[in-house]
Amino acid sequence: MVRGHNLDNRWVVPYNPYLLKRYNCHINFEICSSITAVKYLYKYIYKGHDRVAINIRDEGSPSTVDEIKNFRDALWVSAPEAIWRIYSFKLSKIYPSVVPIHVHLPNKQLVTYCKNKDLRCLLDEDNLSHTMLTEFFKRNLYDNNARNMLYREFPENYVWDEKARHWHERKNKRAVGRVVAVSASEGERYYLRLLLSHVRGPTSFNDLLMVDGNSCSSFRDSAIKRGLIENDNAIFLCLQEATLYEMPFILRRLFATLLAFCEPVDVGLLWKTFFKPMSEDFLCHISLSQEECVSATLVDIKCFLESMGKTIDDYDLPSISFVVNSSQIPRDILEEMAIITPTEDVQSINSLNLEQKNAFEKIISSVNSAKHVAFFIDGPGGTGKTFLYRAILAHIRSRKDIAIATATSDVAASLLPGGRTAHSRFKIPLEVNHSSVCGIRKQSGLSQLIQLAKLIIWDEAPMSKRLAIEALDRTLQDIMENNLPFGGKVMVFGGDFRQVLPVVRKARRTQLVDACLVRSYLWPNMEKIILKENMRAKKDQDFCSFLLQIGDGVGSETEKNIIQIPKEMLVPYIEENLSKEMLINVIFPKLDELSEDPIYITERALLSTRNSYVDELNDTIINKFPGIAIVYHSFDNAVDENNTNYQSEILNAMTPNGLPPYKLILKNNCPVMLLRNLDPANGLCNGTRLICQSFQKNVIHAKITSGQYVGREVLLPRIPMFPAENDGFPFKFKRKQFPIRLSFAMTINKAQGQTIPYVGIYLPENVFSHGQLYVALSRGISKSTTKVLIKPNSECTIPGCTKNVVFREIYEDMN
Ligand SMILES: Nc1ncnc2c1ncn2[C@@H]1O[C@H](COP(=O)(O)OP(=O)(O)OP(=O)(O)O)[C@@H](O)[C@H]1O
């Protein structure tokens, strides 16, 4: 109570007494975290000087003050200025001085002189032409130490003497350099600044113009040749480089990818130029006429475009004169009928273990008797769920019946022949609620396909929100025109609740659990089939029971979720870098000798909790990996900014979730992971693993090493990418880069569903979500080939102990 008023938190304005005293003004205190800080710090400071709205008027005249306008005019002065002051103050605490360094074009030095000075004398003053930049060049000619630095790093080690106009070595006081901003509209000066931000130790302007022994005509040209800015011709060059591989089929897919993702301006010209290399396989066919070759090439491109969600009619391409398929059967059904069943899947029916066999027979007998049952196959990681689905699919499809295969994630879907994500297959809306339905029209081909299907499989169902599965239930009832669960279809859901649960942003534990399938009205009516025998780690029963303990969270309640990892699996923590090196050496031994062996590379991976740890590990391993490093820089822009105030180095320094890095360093035979769904129906989806085979400036030649398209060769172009909508970017950020990142190491979530015979788990922090530790450990096949490095922390002080997060209430709901 203050003076008769009841006050609470709402009456308290956060403030910082130190800043108030120092600046003697009113400053509200706010925590400005994440990327929003960049906007505040770098945008507003360019807006201009302090301004105050003043209105002078006669005392006698009527008042015509536009208060709103005045307020708006002066509004921005206070907040951004205060922020800039705080920022400068903070910076000055960390770095005693921030040195602005200048950039000028050759012979365009800025000269300041007294207005009474005789210009002839001025011209004789040689010193005046010496600038920070020219003296930087000169120093690089004889100083080995200087030659390792970028221009902006120079002030950290050298001090600019304004009087003598030269750099001398810095003795004390730390400082950082800030190259003054140059707008892209300034042309050559902008490109010069860009070159200075990337080229170490240049000795002259001419030196910056030299690329691969040739002198470029402009700084822009040099920046293009060094891959620092995009060539206007990038798409053309990409296709031109791709023709070197002489693989028409792969070239057609690349052509479709470029149309679908890169929005080329003149599609007609591209078609004319590259028709021949794209159709070489058809042209060699003696029986095909020129016109038929054109049609065959276009049909192939059309199919690729359709699987990428586009239609060929949207592009300026010739029309297909020879109709290859004139049947009335909808495309969805034709595609499904065309799925090739691998022979090993048919044979695998005979090698099912007892549990799998029982499950197989139960499901097939339901299909045969058209008895509407929804099964749930509950099996810990490695019990052969995928193996079983493949056997079921093979059996039904070999009878020429339709079985639809889906999974929650792209990677799991790519493990099933003809597999698609459930969201894309059933057109489930991204935002689902209690009354959502899928976007399938009743007269559509997809609706007919569903009516014909004998069975629908949905793998990794525990990773999906229950509302999505409920939306499918409602839709199937509508399509089948009945009130039976899932419209009376035989459904096979499967998965493992010990593994990662649905992603619900910023959700609390109760909300997360509530989003799970076990809380759905559908769950009690599902027939549960339990698989127990771990086929992945069959040879190490001890490891299997250890995994189950981790998955079930056994004993974790009494010990605050802290568990002990068996000694034989541990890499001792001595010191961070040393221990990391040990972990890398255990998982990737003899990297020098075996780097060219694709089996060696694909059988191994390191897993960690966050992208930042994964990036560090990848950087270390690619340095050790033999071969010449190829560096691809991305082209970054702030797309919707009216005043493009973001300097390129700020944009380049960001790596939002799911985007490749600015500086992608690759070597021949190194493993990478795809970051976008380029062509899921043909094995190129988010999470697909590949091995780099060779590199051109605008195209990368790689081979798929995971999923059902193992061994297929692909050509990857640079494509524009954007961060996820909910990533909290204050502006629209676009990065054009090859959609891949190194995959010596990956996040635990990305590894779900994969078998990794030699797996190293790096835990610099405790795991933080349900099932994370279990997913990581259950990728392995035995204790001796699964290694864990744990950095001790305040919660886990005993060496080899770490936290396990398990929401046990889910298991209670399951029963
Ligand atoms: N009956 C079987 N005979 C031989 N190998 C099998 C059998 N069942 C499964 N496997 C093998 O065991 C490994 C794990 O199987 P699979 O990937 O199907 O398990 P999963 O339950 O889907 O695992 P996760 O939940 O981790 O995705 C695979 O290498 C698979 O080929």
Determine whether 577 is exposed, middle or buried from the number of CB atoms within 10 Å of its CB (0-12, 13-18, 19+).
Answer: exposed
Q: Give yes or no for residue 496 CB within 6 A of ligand 1.
A: yes
How far is Cα 810 from Cα 808, in angstroms, rounded to an integer? 5
Domains 336-530 and 536-625+744-815 share a fold: yes
Answer yes or no: is the C-beta of 551 below 6 A from any ligand 1 atom.
no
**Centre of ligand 1 from the C-alpha of residue 575, in Å:** 37
Q: 782 CB less than 6 Å from ligand 1?
A: no
Q: CA-to-CA distance for 581 and 591, rounded, in angstroms?
A: 13
Cβ of 755 less than 6 Å from ligand 1? yes
Q: Is 356 in the pocket of ligand 1 (CB under 6 A)?
A: yes
CA 383 to centroid of ligand 1, rounded, Å: 6
Q: Which of 408, 535, 602, 759 to mutate to test the pocket of ligand 1 (most atoms within 8 A of CB)?
A: 535
> Does ligand 1 come within 6 angstroms of the Cβ of 432?
no
CA separation for the pair 654, 16 (Å, rounded): 30
Ligand 1, pocket-test mutation among 349, 536, 759, most atoms within 8 A of CB: 536
Among protein residues, the one with the nearest Cα to ligand 1's atom 13 is 536
In this predicted structure, what is the pLDDT of residue 41? Answer: 65
The alpha carbon of 349 and the centre of ligand 1 are apart by a number of angstroms equal to: 13
Ligand 1 neighbour 384 (Cβ under 6 A): yes
Assess whether the C-beta atom of 136 lies below 6 angstroms from ligand 1.
Answer: no
Q: How far is CA 538 from the centre of its chain?
A: 34
H-helix or E-strand spanning residue 491: strand 490-495
Q: Is 381 in the pocket of ligand 1 (CB under 6 A)?
A: yes
> What is the atom index within ligand 1 of the atom nearest the CA of 388?
18
**Pocket lining: 264 vs ligand 1, CB cutoff 6 Å:** no
Instruction: State in Å: Cα 101 to ligand 1 middle.
Output: 60
Mutate to test the pocket of ligand 1, among 603, 607, 755, 777 (most ligand atoms within 8 A of CB): 755
Give the Cα separation of 476 and 454 in Å (integer): 13
Class of domain 336-530: alpha beta
Give, using CA atoms, the residue closest to atom 27 of ligand 1.
Answer: 753
- Shortest-distance atom of ligand 1 to CA 778: 26
For ligand 1, is residue 538 a contact (CB within 6 Å)? no
Q: What ipTM, to 2 d.p.?
A: 0.97
Cβ of 352 below 6 Å from ligand 1: yes
Runs of H (alpha helix) within 685-769: 748-751
Q: Whose CA is nearest to atom 1 of ligand 1?
A: 352
Residue 671 near residue 700, CB atoms below 8 Å: no
Site to probe by mutation for ligand 1, drawn from 378, 387, 782 as the one with most ligand atoms within 8 Å of Cβ, is 387
Q: Compute, in angstroms, the gap from residue 28 CA to the centroid of ligand 1.
A: 59
Q: Is the CB of 773 under 6 A from ligand 1?
A: no
The neighbour count for residue 48, using CB atoms within 10 Å, is: 10
- Closest CA to ligand 1's atom 8: 384
Q: Is the CB of 680 under 6 A from ligand 1?
A: no
Closest residue to atom 5 of ligand 1, CA basis: 535
- 750: tokens are 């990305």
User: What span, in angstroms and rounded, lies between the C-alpha atoms of 239 and 176?
Assistant: 43
Task: Give me ligand 1 centre to Cα 376, in Å.
Answer: 17
Tell me the CA–centroid distance for residue 597 and ligand 1, in Å: 24
Q: Is 780 in the pocket of ligand 1 (CB under 6 A)?
A: no
- State whether the beta carbon of 757 lies less than 6 angstroms from ligand 1: no
Tokens 């305040």, residue?
A: 794
Ligand 1 atom nearest the C-alpha of 538 is 12
**Mean pLDDT for each 10-residue chunk of the chain (815 residues)?**
88 84 79 67 56 62 66 50 50 63 90 83 83 94 92 91 89 80 85 93 95 93 90 89 89 93 89 92 79 88 85 87 60 82 91 95 92 91 92 94 92 87 90 90 89 94 94 94 93 92 82 91 93 87 89 66 89 92 94 88 93 93 94 87 65 85 94 90 86 94 88 93 75 90 93 88 91 92 93 83 88 79
How far does the centroid of ligand 1 lie from the alpha carbon of residue 372, in Å?
27
For residue 771, the 8-state DSSP code is T
What pLDDT score was predicted for residue 238?
Answer: 93
User: Is there an atom of ligand 1 within 6 Å of 389 CB?
Assistant: no
Any ligand 1 atom below 6 A from CB of 351 = yes
DSSP state of 565: P
Residue-range domain boundaries for the chain: 9-61+69-86, 97-225, 234-326, 336-530, 536-625+744-815, 627-740
CA-nearest residue, atom 2 of ligand 1: 352
Residue 180: DSSP 8-state: P
Does ligand 1 have an atom closer than 6 angstroms to the CB of 753?
Answer: yes
Helix, strand, or coil (residue 522): coil
CA-to-CA distance for 662 and 660, rounded, in angstroms? Answer: 7
Q: Measuring CA to CA, which residue among 465, 459, 461 is closest to residue 516? A: 465
Using a 6 Å cutoff on CB, does residue 382 contact ligand 1?
yes
Report H helices in 95-233.
Answer: 119-124, 132-142, 188-196, 205-209, 219-225
Tokens at 671, concatenated: 């493993």
Q: Whose CA is nearest to atom 25 of ligand 1?
A: 381
The answer to whether the CB of 386 is under 6 A from ligand 1 is: yes
In angstroms, what is the span from residue 387 Cα to ligand 1's centroid? 5
How many whole angstroms from its chain centre is CA 152? 29
- For the entire predicted model, the pTM comes to 0.79
Going from the Cα of 589 to the center of ligand 1, the distance in angstroms, rounded, reads: 26
Which CATH class name applies to 536-625+744-815?
A: alpha beta
Nearest CA to 743 out of 675, 671, 686, 685 is that of 671
Phi, psi of 81 (to 5 degrees): -60, -45
Q: How big is the CA angle at 614 (ends 610 and 619), to the nearest 5 degrees? A: 150
CA separation for the pair 354, 342 (Å, rounded): 22
